[in-house]
Chains A and B, each alone.
Chain A
Amino acid sequence: TVLTQFRSKPYRNKRLSNAATMSLSAKEKNIVRDFFKKVSSRSEEVGTEALSRMLTVYPQTKSYFAHWKDLSPGSPPVRKHGITIMGGVYDAVSKVDDLVGGLLTLSELHAFMLRIDPVNFKILSHCMLVVLSMLFPEDFTPQVHLAVDKFLALLALALAEKYR
């Protein structure tokens, strides 16, 4: 019937979730810095895996990479871009005290040139969390998960700063 069709998966306004007023405590910033120091030896792997998973699990994200020849998991363009993204993440870690100010240029790049819909930042963040939990099972405690999730959300917010 018409009603059962409508009842399935109404689109939820994801843009309104995730309080914009939350911020990282000093303790959480230290957790983020320490954890990413541990991750640094495998950061290329993290970036490649996260991106590969995003493209596979959320195929609509492929729409932004029409110019790549190979979108399969672990392919050369995916690997290369994974490194770029992790470079950005580490840059953000070093600027965790002022993400908005520190990521201004990156935000302008995403806002005016790339124009990626900000909903995708959340998707990639989620994929990163999955990969981090898989590659660092002992270090990725619930407290670390919490701090990193908040950090990535704030990173996404800083990236979206210049959008409008």
Chain B
Amino acid sequence: KKVQIGVRAPWKGIFGKAAILKVLIVYPWTQRHFGTFGEFPNDDTIIGNAKVIAHGKVVLRSLDKAVKNMDNIMGVYTSLSRYHCEVLRVDPENFRLLADCIIVSIGSKNSSDLTPHVQATWHKFLSAVVEAMGSQYSNRA
């Protein structure tokens, strides 16, 4: 229960865009899923890219669902995992990178709220999400 309360408290939903921008800038190879090389000559083009913004929103919506269904995070992400694995062909390492960036983004927007304990709570929650997102990969023939 403490874990659940801890995660819901700083949840403001504003950092989704910040997190996805961060991951694309800090780990530039992740851009491979959003365009061909050279398509993002600077940060502004990334920020303005429609696919990127749309994905930020999608990630946020799914995280929202996970927060509301913390007892069944696996279930929330089963079909998304399969989609990322079979259709989008995304290396699940990207999920770990994005999770790291989400925590950093929360920290920068809610510096007073992100105590070590709260950070640990977020880390645990996002670990479960990352694991759920990677869950369908081992089932591929």
A→B interface (CB under 8 Å):
2-3, 5-6, 8-11, 13, 59-64, 66, 111-113, 115-120, 163-164
Max count, chain B CB within 10 A of own CB: residue among A10, A64, A120: A10
Is there an interface contact between B127 and A63, defined as CB atoms closer than 8 Å? no
Given A60-B91, A117-B29, A120-B93, A9–B3 Cβ distance below 8 Å? no
Instruction: Identify A64's interface contact among B85, B91, B125, B140, CB under 8 A.
Output: B91
A-contacting residues, B1-44, CB 8 Å: 1, 3-4, 26-32, 37
Instruction: Identify A113's interface contact among B37, B71, B73, B85, CB under 8 A.
Output: B37
Instruction: Identify B3's interface contact among A3, A59, A119, CB under 8 A.
Output: A3
B109 within 8 A of A: no
In the assembly, what is the distance between CA of A11 and CA of B90, in Å?
Answer: 17
9 examples of A-B residue contacts, CB within 8 angstroms:
A11-B130, A60-B134, A62-B140, A63-B89, A111-B29, A115-B31, A115-B32, A117-B94, A120-B91
Given A5-B73, A6-B127, A60–B92 Cβ distance below 8 Å? yes
Is there an interface contact between A115 and B29, defined as CB atoms closer than 8 Å? yes
B70 within 8 A of A: yes
Majority-rule SS of A interface residues: helix
Tally of contacts, chain A with chain B, CB under 8 A? 73
Max count, chain A CB within 10 A of own CB: residue among B30, B31, B74, B89: B89
In the assembly, what is the distance between CA of A9 and CA of B92, in Å?
Answer: 15
Residue of A nearest to B92 (CB): A60
Residue of B nearest to A61 (CB): B91
Is there an interface contact between A119 and B137, defined as CB atoms closer than 8 Å? no
**A-B residue pairs, 10 tightest by C-beta:** A115-B32, A115-B29, A6-B124, A10-B127, A63-B89, A117-B93, A60-B137, A66-B89, A119-B93, A60-B92
Distance from B133 Cβ to chain A, minimum over Cβ atoms (Å): 11
Is there an interface contact between A2 and B3, defined as CB atoms closer than 8 Å? yes
In the assembly, what is the distance between CA of A104 and CA of B37, in Å?
Answer: 18
Within 8 Å CB of A116, what residues of B? 29, 91
Q: Mark B75-115, 1 if CB is under 8 A from A, else 0.
A: 00000000001000111111011011000000000000000
Residue of B nearest to A6 (CB): B124
B138 within 8 A of A: yes
Given A60-B134, A111-B29, A11–B89 Cβ distance below 8 Å? no
Is there an interface contact between A9 and B131, defined as CB atoms closer than 8 Å? yes
B128 within 8 A of A: yes
Is there an interface contact between A11 and B127, defined as CB atoms closer than 8 Å? yes
Within 8 Å CB of A164, what residues of B? 26-29
Within 8 Å CB of B131, what residues of A? 8-9, 11
